[in-house]
Structure 1
Amino acid sequence: MKKSKLLVSVGRIFSITCMIVVGVSVIAAEAKPKAKNARKPGTSGTPATAAETLTVPPGFKVELLRSAATNEGSWISMAIDSKGRLIVSPQQDQRPLLRITLTKAGKVDKVETIPAPVKQAMGMCWAHDSLYVNSHGPNGTGLYRLIDSNKNDQFDTNEVHFLKKMSADGPKNGEGEHGYHAVVAGPDGMIYVMNGNHTKVPEGVSTNSPFQNYQEDLMLPRQWDGNGHATGILAPGGYVLRTDAEGKNWELVLGGFRNSYDFDFNAKGEMFTYDSDMEWDWGMPWYCPTRVSHNVTGGDYGWRSGAGRWPEYYADSLPAAVDIGLGCPTGVKFGTKSNFPKKYQQALYAMDWTYGRLFAVHLRE
């Protein structure tokens, strides 16, 4: 694949709660300096920026569905169930999952809590008539499958199944921003799980996995980060696993990311992600900017801690599809099944937390 052009760069957002919902025309753009805040009935706390104050390209419309209430915490992931309801996870362990029902007109009709004992889910997806959650839970941090076996439209305690433990790589790592991440249903019916570079490859992964033999491969002594970040953490860094619907068979698909949070498949079944940089390394010879990567099976994308970062010209690594620069990648989604203008239906939408931006990346073969 040739390097892609970044054709759309969407500007700063001020105080916005942003959700990407494919099928709903949502895109973020530069907010006017004197934006008025909007608050939906029944919510409290700091409201999101009013949708009408956002500037978007022709053919797009922004709608504010709901601002998180004070007792709902900060929202960190979202999925859509088989009935079209939004399932949202707050960041705190004390906050339950939320389920938001929309009307046919796309307005919020009902908000309810899900009493299942899974919290702080950084990744969720609906597949195989169940909800897969990469989260904290009764068996620790890992992948859970929630199945409504008795059809009461709830997830009771005995309907929460633990599939795989995700352990921290180091005493203080693996449980936060560099830990367990996205869950995505692949076009092959498999469940794909992404974890950050502070999470160990879990036990029970097939020795015949596509991604094997990863090592540091450094010829010169490494200079670890001067502030101690990721000191002692070795390859493979961030990685992607896949498993069957029951979570019985696991493979390590690819790795070498710093801290990709999310990924998605395009209409042809190819996987892409938006990986993070180490901003403290900016200006150093080994600095690698945030970048969109075309994820191939068995690929190594070259993250190594400290000054050990592989240059992208290494023959056994893979270059970026497009470099973006300083930022903090979060959610990504292709517009494949959206009602966006035709030009944008094949774009990859990538969110940057640091500068409050949403990019539309148009990829060329």
Structure 2
Amino acid sequence: MKKSDFYFDLPKELIAQDPLEDRSASRLLLLDKNTGAVSHRVFRQITEYLRPGDCLVLNNTKVIPARLLGQREKTGGHVELLLLKRRQDDVWETLVKPGKKCRPGARISFGDGLLTAEVLETVEEGNRLVRFTYDGIFEEVLDRLGEMPLPPYITHKLQDKNRYQTVYAKYEGSAAAPTAGLHFTQSLLDQITEMGVETAYVTLHVGLGTFRPVKEENVLEHHMHSEFYQVTDEAAQKINRVKEKGGRIICVGTTSCRTVESAADENGIVRPGCAQTDIFIYPGYRFKVLDGLITNFHLPESTLVMLVSALAGREHVLAAYREAIRERYRFFSFGDAMFIADFS
């Protein structure tokens, strides 16, 4: 299986730069995972394709304002620091630019000294471990100084931090949003619940590894970075009960999909607990839990396109993407959505 098998040509102007004013006004492409048939709707019409007894699985992780802009204390040179993972207390694994100028011992100042960081060591893939020093509560300082870590293909400045959060975001820890969930309003979720559709919340803290490009031409040689996930007793019981009764498990986003598939045993029973997952889902994978997927449109040759292709078939997915491009759908994080299921 080759990386180039998942390539498609995307016009740059179709990359969404700003969120829509109304989250649920995004377009929705319906893709039948068995036949490849495609139709077009508006996202809020998703209620017409959900059934009483289904279960929506949503990732309630919360994005932290993980992008910090500062200066090296000795030279005043500009530094961009991205928080990746908290190792212990005030020690974080970070991505630093320019990395060559930030060797162990370097000190960086943010917000005129409200927050300082000392580089401790260089770790895997050139990331830096840094120790922060500050007065007060770290999260409050970060909220004041930090920016949302938008993907590099978004060049516009985000006016409202909350637009890069789902309305149900709860547990802080992500370096990127689970973007399929951005289309839901609380009103739409209430409507879905009133229909008799269950909602189960899981947590997977999204790391940048999910979005790193596949470098190897042989897909099977790609190594996924691990991410923390948690499935509560309540969520596991709800998913298992719906599955047992013949309802569909519909994951909102690839992160929810990866969570339930990681937490399930060979019989498809979801087990509660916390763990790290580096699951890599690509064509040939047999889904143990998931029946349908609500997702955004992903980058060419990415692991996320491979995951979607595992569910609906590479040919069907690439044909649907070509149709979306013809119809001028908006792509990536602030873009439109796709619902993949059996619509027969």
- Fold similarity call, TM over 0.5: no
The structure with the greater share of residues assigned to helix is: 2
Per the shorter chain, which TM-score range?
Answer: under 0.3
Q: TM-score, normalised by structure 1?
A: 0.26
Q: Relative contact order (alpha carbons < 8 A, sep ≥ 6): 1 or 2 greater?
A: 2
